[in-house]
C-alpha cells in the first residue's frame, strides 16, 4: 500500500531520478558534438581528419554503441528489471565520460565513445518504462513529459558549460561526476510492481527477436520507430549543417552550428513539455503527433526560405524548429504504451536508439540527392520523405492514451 500511495504523485522519486538520468544522457551526447573538434585538435589530428576520417569514425562508433546498447539494455530491462538498467547504464557511461577526459590517443577516444554510447542507450527507455508502469494511466503522460523536458534541457546545459569551462576534458569530468552522484539518489527508487508481478510468473520476457517473428507485432514496432524520423532529420541535417544552409541563403552574419543546436534544443525542451501536456488535456497521443508534424513541415518550409534573413531571425526559426519536433515525449511514450510488460523495456529502449540510428541513412539520402538537386532542394526532398512517412505512421498508429499496461505479449 505504501508503494501505491507514493506512486500517485507525478513528482515521485522515480520520475525525478529518471528525469535527471536523461538530463545527463543528453548532456553527454551533445557535449561530444560540441567538443569533438577541439578535442581532436589537441590529440594532434589535422583538419581533414577531423571533418572526415577519424572525426566521422568517432560519430559512427558512438552510434554503434547506442544501437548495440539499445538491444542489450532493452533485454536486460525486461529480464532483470527496469532498475537494473537504470543502475548499470548510468554507471557505465559515467565511467566512460571520465575516461574520455583522460584520453591521449584516437584509439582510446574510439574505445570510450563506444562504451559511452553503449551505456547511454539504456537511460531513456528504462526511465520511461518505469515511470509509465508506476503512475496511474491517467497521469503517466505527465510523468513522461517531465522526464523528457528535464532531460532535453541537458543539451542547453552542455552548451553553456562548454562555453564557461573552455576545457573539453573538464567538461567530460563534470558529466561523469553528475552521473556518479545520481547513482546515490537511485538507491531510493523502487522497482515497478507491474514488472515484479510478471517476473513471478513463467512468462517469456525480453525476447528481442520476437518483435520480428509476427507480422502485426513487427508492423506496430516499425510504426513506433518511424515516428521519430523527423526529429533526427531536423537536428542532424538542418541544424547540424545550419552554417552551410545559412551561407547558401546569404543569411546576414555568421551562423555557428553549436549555437544553432543550443537554440534548437531550447525549443525542443519547451516542445516536449507542450506535447506532453496537450496529450493529457486532449486525451490523445495521435492528435498531438499529427498537429506537431504539420507544424514541423511548416517550419522546415520557412527555414529553407530564409534568404537574406538576419542572424536573429535565423536563430529564432532554429528555436521554433526545435519546438516543432519536441514530440520526443509522445514518441517514446507511445512506444512504451504499445507493448506488453514482458516486452515493454525492450521496445522503449530500442526504439529511440534505432531512431537515432536512422540519421546515417537520412544523411546518405541527403548526400545522394545532391547529385541531382541543389543543397536546398535536397533538404526539401528529404524533409518531405521523413515528415511524410511520420504523418502516415501517426495517422495509422493506435491510440494509446489511457491504455491499461498490465498485460503480456504472447511470445
CATH assignment of the domain containing 368 = 1.20.1250.20
**Same domain for 263 and 332?**
yes
**Same domain for 123 and 244?**
no
Asked if 149 and 20 count as a contact pair (C-beta separation under 8 A), the reply is no
**Same domain for 21 and 92?**
yes
- How high is the pLDDT of residue 5? 40
pLDDT higher than 60, residue 155: yes
Asked if 356 and 63 count as a contact pair (C-beta separation under 8 A), the reply is yes
Cα of first residue to Cα of last residue in the chain, in angstroms, is 32
**Same domain for 257 and 380?**
yes
- How high is the pLDDT of residue 88? 93
pLDDT band, very low/low/confident/very high, at 212 (cuts 50, 70, 90) = very high
Task: Note whether residue 60 is domain-resident.
Answer: yes
**Same domain for 245 and 334?**
yes
- How high is the pLDDT of residue 58? 85
pLDDT higher than 80, residue 395: yes
**Same domain for 218 and 360?**
yes
What's the structural domain count of the chain? 2
- How high is the pLDDT of residue 13? 85
- How high is the pLDDT of residue 8? 54
Q: Name residues whose C-beta falls within 8 Å of residue 62's C-beta, 6 or more positions apart in sequence.
A: 32, 113, 114, 116, 117
pLDDT higher than 90, residue 45: no
pTM recorded for the entire structure: 0.89
> For the segment 313-361, what is each residue's pLDDT rounded down to a tens digit?
999 999 999 999 999 888 989 999 999 999 999 999 999 999 888 888 8
Q: Which residues of 367-387 are buried (b: 16+ CB within 10 A; e: fewer)?
A: eebeeeeebeebbbbbbebbb
**Same domain for 340 and 234?**
yes
- DSSP summary character for residue 191: P
Asked if 333 and 140 count as a contact pair (C-beta separation under 8 A), the reply is yes
Task: Note whether residue 193 is domain-resident.
Answer: no
Q: What is the pLDDT of the chain when averaged over all its residues?
A: 90
Last residue of a domain, one of 185, 219, 252: 185
Last residue of a domain, one of 154, 185, 216: 185
What number is the average pLDDT over the span 170-178? 94
pLDDT higher than 80, residue 116: yes
**Same domain for 272 and 381?**
yes
Q: Tell me how crowded residue 401 is: count the other CB atoms within 10 A of its CB.
A: 21
Asked if 304 and 298 count as a contact pair (C-beta separation under 8 A), the reply is no
What number is the average pLDDT over the span 366-382? 94
- How high is the pLDDT of residue 52? 63
Task: Note whether residue 168 is domain-resident.
Answer: yes
pLDDT band, very low/low/confident/very high, at 256 (cuts 50, 70, 90) = confident
Q: Cell 518483435 sits at which residue?
A: 211
Residue length, the chain? 411
**Same domain for 2 and 70?**
yes
Q: How far apart are CA 56 and CA 58, in angstroms?
A: 5
Task: Note whether residue 194 is domain-resident.
Answer: no
**Same domain for 137 and 251?**
no
Task: Note whether residue 199 is domain-resident.
Answer: no
Asked if 375 and 248 count as a contact pair (C-beta separation under 8 A), the reply is yes
Percentage of the chain surpassing pLDDT 70? 97
Going by C-alpha positions, the residue among 56, 48, 127, 25 that lies closest to residue 333 is: 127
pLDDT higher than 50, residue 403: yes
Task: Note whether residue 157 is domain-resident.
Answer: yes
Last residue of a domain, one of 138, 154, 185: 185
CA atoms within 13 A on the CB side of 362: 29
Task: Note whether residue 410 is domain-resident.
Answer: no
CA atoms within 13 A on the CB side of 354: 19
pLDDT higher than 60, residue 2: no
Task: Note whether residue 357 is domain-resident.
Answer: yes
Q: How far apart are CA 259 and CA 237, in angstroms?
A: 15
**Same domain for 43 and 141?**
yes
Asked if 97 and 176 count as a contact pair (C-beta separation under 8 A), the reply is yes
Domain that includes residue 158, residue range: 1-185
**Same domain for 170 and 215?**
no
CA atoms within 13 A on the CB side of 101: 18
Asked if 274 and 330 count as a contact pair (C-beta separation under 8 A), the reply is no
Asked if 103 and 112 count as a contact pair (C-beta separation under 8 A), the reply is yes
Asked if 409 and 340 count as a contact pair (C-beta separation under 8 A), the reply is yes
pLDDT higher than 90, residue 4: no
- How high is the pLDDT of residue 46? 82
Amino acid at each position: 500500500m505504501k508503494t501505491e500511495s507514493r506512486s500517485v504523485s507525478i513528482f515521485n522519486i522515480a520520475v525525478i531520478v529518471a528525469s535527471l538520468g536523461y538530463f545527463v544522457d543528453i548532456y553527454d551526447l551533445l557535449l561530444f558534438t560540441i567538443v569533438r573538434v577541439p578535442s581532436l585538435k589537441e590529440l594532434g589530428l589535422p583538419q581533414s581528419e577531423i571533418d572526415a576520417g577519424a572525426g566521422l569514425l568517432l560519430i559512427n562508433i558512438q552510434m554503434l554503441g547506442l544501437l548495440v546498447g539499445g538491444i542489450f539494455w532493452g533485454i536486460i530491462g525486461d529480464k532483470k528489471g527496469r532498475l537494473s538498467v537504470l543502475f548499470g547504464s548510468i554507471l557505465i557511461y559515467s565511467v566512460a565520460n571520465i575516461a574520455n577526459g583522460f584520453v591521449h590517443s584516437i584509439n582510446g577516444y574510439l574505445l570510450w565513445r563506444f562504451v559511452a554510447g553503449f551505456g547511454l542507450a539504456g537511460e531513456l527507455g528504462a526511465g520511461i518504462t518505469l515511470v509509465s508502469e508506476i503512475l496511474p494511466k491517467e497521469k503517466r503522460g505527465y510523468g513522461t513529459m517531465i522526464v523528457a523536458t528535464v532531460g532535453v534541457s541537458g543539451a542547453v546545459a552542455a552548451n553553456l558549460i562548454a562555453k564557461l569551462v573552455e576545457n573539453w576534458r573538464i567538461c567530460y569530468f563534470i558529466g561523469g561526476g553528475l552521473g556518479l552522484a545520481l547513482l546515490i539518489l537511485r538507491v531510493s527508487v523502487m522497482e515497478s510492481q507491474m514488472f515484479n508481478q510478471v517476473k513471478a510468473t513463467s512468462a517469456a520476457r525480453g525476447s528481442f527477436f520476437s518483435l520480428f517473428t509476427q507480422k502485426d507485432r513487427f508492423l506496430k514496432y516499425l510504426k513506433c520507430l518511424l515516428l521519430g524520423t523527423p526529429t533526427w532529420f531536423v537536428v542532424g541535417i538542418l541544424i547540424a549543417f545550419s552554417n552551410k544552409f545559412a551561407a547558401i541563403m546569404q543569411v546576414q552574419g555568421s551562423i555557428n552550428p553549436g549555437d544553432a543546436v543550443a537554440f534548437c534544443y531550447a525549443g525542443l525542451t519547451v516542445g516536449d513539455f507542450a506535447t506532453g501536456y496537450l496529450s493529457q488535456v486532449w486525451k490523445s497521443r495521435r492528435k498531438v503527433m499529427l498537429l506537431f508534424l504539420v507544424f514541423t513541415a511548416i517550419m522546415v518550409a520557412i527555414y529553407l526560405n530564409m534568404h537574406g534573413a538576419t542572424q536573429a531571425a535565423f536563430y529564432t526559426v532554429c528555436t521554433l524548429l526545435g519546438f516543432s519536433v519536441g514530440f520526443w515525449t509522445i514518441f517514446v511514450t507511445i512506444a512504451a504504451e504499445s507493448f506488453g510488460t514482458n516486452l515493454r523495456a525492450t521496445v522503449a529502449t530500442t526504439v529511440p536508439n534505432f531512431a537515432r540510428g536512422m540519421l546515417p541513412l537520412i544523411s546518405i539520402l541527403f548526400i545522394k540527392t545532391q547529385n541531382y538537386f541543389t543543397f536546398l532542394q535536397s533538404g526539401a526532398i528529404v524533409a518531405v520523405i521523413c515528415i511524410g512517412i511520420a504523418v502516415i505512421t501517426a495517422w495509422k498508429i493506435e491510440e494509446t492514451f489511457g491504455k491499461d499496461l498490465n498485460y503480456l505479449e504472447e511470445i
